[in-house]
Amino acid sequence: MPTTDMDPELHLTDRFSRAIDYARHLHIERRKATRIPYVAHLLGVASLVMGEAGQVPFPVTEDMVIAALLHDAAEDHGGHTRLADIRSNFGPQVARMVEGLSDTFAEDPCEKEDWDVRKKSYLERLPQESPETQLISAADKLYNVRTILDEYRAIGPRVWERFHRSRDQQFWYFNSLLRVFKSAGTNRIVEELDRVVVELARLSATGETAR
């Protein structure tokens, strides 16, 4: 159910500007096998979250937008040490959401747990996370799956070579996430994620690129 006119409007302050700068300095890497700056993903997820202001049954806040910008910071750049820095710079609410959005807290990215372990643990925790955190998570997954779909249309099955796990394992994860999101109540992002996953499954089932 969308929010009402009585709900507070989303206002962005200099905290948002600082968060963009924080993310820009931290995430200097590129997206998988592309020349696209990683920060494009972070801004895209934040944009999806902002777009739900007035569309979900809770206020979309600046803390949520900042958490969307920083959702990969602890997971990819320092674990609990990074999380403590986020708490110091942006407050406990942002840090709590970033914690809920992280599937590992390994300080060294090379020492992350196996993919299967991380994803299963994340799926177990996700139902207990707040609606705000789940919305950001769904936006993150929607951005990712849209990107895979676009790239599949361009290069076909070779897109799966960019990942550590196979097409089937990726779809196991996508569909497991959708079950968690839907169990908490659907929204526009979850519905769009469902549609894009179905389209990617349909297109990639033949192993061919779109014509």
What are the tens digits of pLDDT across the range 96-123? Answer: 999 999 999 988 888 899 999 999 999 9
The total of other beta-carbon atoms located within 10 Å of residue 113's CB is 13
Average pLDDT, the chain: 92
Q: In the chain, where are the structural domains located?
A: 14-204
For residues 102 and 153, what is the distance between their CA atoms, to the nearest angstrom?
29
Instruction: Report which of 151, 110, 142 is spatially closest to residue 41, judged by C-alpha positions.
Output: 142
What are the tens digits of pLDDT across the range 19-50? Answer: 999 999 999 988 777 788 999 999 999 999 99
Structural tokens at position 45: 């997820």
Residues 6+ apart with CB under 8 A from 154: 209
For residues 26 and 9, what is the distance between their CA atoms, to the nearest angstrom?
29
**Residue pointed to by tokens 């959401």:** 97
State the pLDDT at residue 211: 46
Question: Across the strands, what pairs with 37?
Answer: 30
For residues 189 and 112, what is the distance between their CA atoms, to the nearest angstrom?
29
Mean pLDDT, to the nearest integer, of 78-91?
97
Q: DSSP assignment, residue 186?
A: -
- Domain 14-204 carries which CATH code? 1.10.3210.10
pTM for the full model?
0.93
Structural tokens at position 88: 């110091």
